[in-house]
A and B are shown apart, each in its own frame.
Chain A
Amino acid sequence: MQSLRRIWAVLWTDCVLRFRKTSTLVTFLLLCFFAYIWVPDPSGGTALLVVGGQRALYNSEAVAFATALLCSMFTGLFGFYLVSQSIELDIRTRCGAIIASTPTPTRQYLLGKCLGNMVFLGTLALGFLLSCMAMQLVRGEASLEPGTFLRQYFIFLPPAISFVSVVAILFESIPRLAGKLGDVCYFFLWMLVLTAGVAAHESGAVTASSYLDFTGVTLIADTLGPLEADKGSVSIGAAPFDQLRPPFVFEGIEFGPKWLAPRLGSFLAPFPLLLLAIAFFHRFDPTRSRIAARRHRVGITRRLNSLLKPLFALGLPRLLTGANQRATLFGAMRADASLTLLNNPMGGLAMALAIPASLLVPTRVLLGGVLPLVFAALAMLLAGVSSREHRNGTQTLISSAPGLREHFVWWKLGSAVLVGLGFTMMAIGRLGLTSPGEGLSVLVGMLFTATSATALGILTNTPKAFLVLFLVFWYAVLNSGGQIPWLSFGGLYGPMAGWVQALYLGLGATLLLLAFLVHRRRLL
């Protein structure tokens, strides 16, 4: 009974803390917005579920299946970044030290946190489900069947939620995975889980992989596979369709006993990972987490960082800061850019390598090999720049410096652009001489990376949002191969079209304006 009370207390507090945050309300509103755009009015030429150019009729089965699938995919990826700061909050507030001194066993604490993650993600999914049911009422072409919606979501969602919740706790319990490295690792873990599920699927058969299918890909393949073979490729979520062909009736997933055990198995499969989390958890012992953090840097990264730090302390940053520091906004931008490099000597090394590489390699290698790496390194480096003060609790120090409080957004933007120029100026110059369009595209790409990193860092006070969105975006850009115009980014596939440049600059400016307004509101 006592154990249940403790687990309940951790779970309840975790949920209350999350549900009382403005960011949760923003997430709910975003989910409603996504429901609105993913279930478009077919008269506009796009529909939720399109197979071989033919759209599915908006009945409850089709809308529930497609939205549940999208929800499962997005919960699996973005859910992690939404819930993976639960233990960190206890560390930051130092309430963790009090918790460590209570008789609450580690297993109860971690289980409570994990259940808190599950309830939070489950509630978000429920919010999305209700939004999609509302869309069925608004745009549906058949009656709303709440039972169908609940059934489809119940088939897809629980394994994704349990996987994300448990892995988030596991990553937070292992100090080396509790930060930016863990955020990046999770992205690749998720991609691995997704592709492994698809690769291991055998049509019509329940295999061992079906018991580790957290996203429901085997279900999708089983349901949509025959349709795809019959009609053609499947697109989900505001996809264009042939308006001359009549809609087909989609029956949804036939959820019988065949899938019950695999889905239950997939739901339960992540829980043993909690034992690993319990074994690794530092229980807020500062020395254990410090040792772990040190271990995180052991090996080549640590050695390189310690070798490079003096070099960067003496070299490049001095070039950036100049000899005479005055209290100007530009001086503050240079100082902040230097700090970014001093804090991340590996990033500084990447910059130092990017400069000669951009000059020496053939243009083809520069575009196809160097620039993708340059943008990825730049994004990693800039992800935490604008949330650094919040995370380290140095806002008050910054506020006392002349002008930085009011011009915080521009200060951080300037600092990010300076670092961005350090990475890309040689490529911009070189490409600009031979093909101005390509040079301009690299500049636009760099500006978009800098503005979005700055704005998202300020809006969310964490590097996670930018990091995950950029990773997804970068994955899409590299996989598009330049075939999709709006994903032809940063000059990687030749000059960006004028409207694509305008799109990225406009998006960056909008995000920046939003960050500016939010920052101004925080100042009040």
Chain B
Amino acid sequence: MLSIRSLSKQFKTGNYGVKNLSLEVAGGVLGLLGPNGAGKTTLMKIVATVMKPSEGEIHFGNIDIVEDPNAIRQRLGYLPQDFGTYEQLSAREFLAYFAALKGVSSASKVDEMLESVNLHTVADRQVGGFSGGMKQRLGIAQALINDPDLLIVDEPTAGLDPEERVRFRNLLTDFGRTKLVILSTHIVSDIESTATRIAILKEGSLIAFETPEALLRLTDGWVWEVTVPSSRLDELRKKFPISRSQGRPDGVHLRLVAPEAPLPGAAQTVPTPEDAYLRCMNFDLRTGDRI
């Protein structure tokens, strides 16, 4: 179980990366959602022991991550955002390097991982010639090579084609059955299909921490569809968060989030995780007031 208590990270500029954040999660896939600068990457770096928090505690099982980072490093897999590679190494050499750093002594583990991310046919090719998706798969392989109990992946599906994304989501879902995965992404659909819990961050603070089903329930009755003349689009954009707008012959078809019918003729519809995200980001969860 991962337990985070009153975690804060204040930078020298005075800004907070993460502010008084607390959550507990037993296992499965924890999806982190939030706009740029919300603190997702800072939180992940702290849990991955790359960055030290200013305040607070993090425990994984009985390991105190802040006090004894080396203890968790044995059981950790981490894929940072926008990670690069050593262009002159082959895929096999790259993985063997990180296997050694993580204390994995089994030579067959490298081949096993290359096969699991479908890079075994290009194992001896230099990484410099790989596509973005291939490099990302290599990154995923290095994160999994020590069979971690805690896997932290920051924007892992960036650069992957649709088929690879589905494959990767399945891999995370399988992994999350027995271990804990922390996944950060901007792509709500990635979270929708994999996360067992969703944490939504805004300006360093946790504004929602629910199961996907609970988030959807919270948004029940808040999502509307309406067709309006295109001249009204700007006015409505200012008033309501719009999750979809589609030009049609009779005007613009909008899907928007609002506590009550935004316009006469607006029809209620079933919320998606994207709608739930907009609800959390734009309305106070307790009072329902626009933030």
Q: Which residues of A contact B (CB under 8 A)?
A: 2, 5-6, 8-10, 12-13, 16-17, 20-21, 89, 92-95, 97-105, 283-287, 290-291, 294
Contact = CB atoms under 8 A, between A and B. Distances in A.
A13 B97 contact: yes
B78 A101 contact: yes
Contacts, number: 98
Contact of A97 (B45, B86, B103): B45
Interface of B: 9, 11-12, 45, 48-52, 70, 73-74, 76, 78-86, 88-89, 93, 96-98, 100-103, 105, 126, 142-143, 152
A394 to B, nearest CB: 15
A21 B103 CA distance: 28
Nearest to B83: A94
What 10 A-B pairs have minimum CB-CB distances, sorted nearest first? Answer: A9-B100, A93-B84, A20-B88, A101-B78, A103-B73, A97-B80, A102-B101, A101-B48, A104-B101, A100-B50
B100 A95 contact: no
B84 A92 contact: yes
A99 B99 CA distance: 11
B78 A97 contact: yes
Contact of B100 (A5, A17, A97, A290): A5
Given A9-B100, A13-B93, A287-B11, A94 B78 contact: no
Nearest to B88: A20
Nearest to B49: A101
A101 B98 CA distance: 11
B101 A9 contact: yes
Given A99-B101, A286-B51, A294-B12, A16 B80 contact: no
A195 B78 CA distance: 49
A140 to B, nearest CB: 38
Contacts of B126: 20
24 contacts: A5-B103, A6-B103, A16-B88, A17-B89, A20-B88, A94-B82, A95-B84, A95-B85, A97-B48, A98-B98, A98-B143, A101-B49, A101-B76, A101-B78, A102-B73, A102-B102, A103-B70, A104-B101, A104-B102, A283-B50, A284-B50, A287-B9, A290-B12, A294-B12
A369 to B, nearest CB: 40
B76 A9 contact: no
Nearest to A92: B84
Nearest to B90: A16
A6 B99 CA distance: 9
A194 B74 CA distance: 45
Contacts of A12: 97
Nearest to A283: B50
Nearest to B143: A98
A94 B76 CA distance: 17
B89 A101 contact: no
Contact of B51 (A13, A16, A103, A287): A287
